[in-house]
Amino acid sequence: MQTNSEAKLLRIFMGESDKVRHQPLYEAIVREAHAAGLSGATAWKGMMGFGASSHIRTAKILDLAADLPLVVEITDQEEKINAFLPRLHALFEQAQCGGLVTMENVQVIRYTRGK
């Protein structure tokens, strides 16, 4: 990915308990993105949220069976993101869970390796 270039941000929302092949769905997505040669992926855990089910999930201390919201963000060139989408859809099918996937335009300001 080039600095000062246009790219796409793929944002994937799911629940913490969503699993595929006995591993967390977010982990499977990040590993698939890596295998696909995408520029990078980050998984975020939310403190509170709800989705299509309208069930509020929260990290409050009294909520023992928390199924917290998770978000995976992947940024890369549009062609590479579009090529990854069938793999992503297959993971959701295997997990048999709900979720939300969005894509938006972004401007890459900096993309460099560390020391």
pLDDT at residue 104, rounded to an integer? 98
pLDDT at residue 48, rounded to an integer? 80
Give me the number of domains the chain comprises.
1
In a domain, 115, yes or no: no
CA atoms within 13 A on the CB side of 56: 5
Angle at 25 between CA 11 and CA 76, to 5 degrees: 35
- Distance (Å) of CA 88 to CA 11, 13, 49, 82, 83: 11, 12, 22, 10, 10
- CATH number of the domain that residue 9 is part of: 3.30.70.120
Residues of the chain with pLDDT under 50: none
Q: What percent of the chain has pLDDT over 70?
A: 88
In a domain, 114, yes or no: no
In a domain, 34, yes or no: yes
In a domain, 17, yes or no: yes
- Residue 89: φ, ψ to 5°: -60, -40
Domain residues for the domain of 93 are: 5-108
Full-prediction pTM beyond 0.85?
yes
User: Beta strands 69-76 and 57-58: pairing type?
Assistant: unpaired
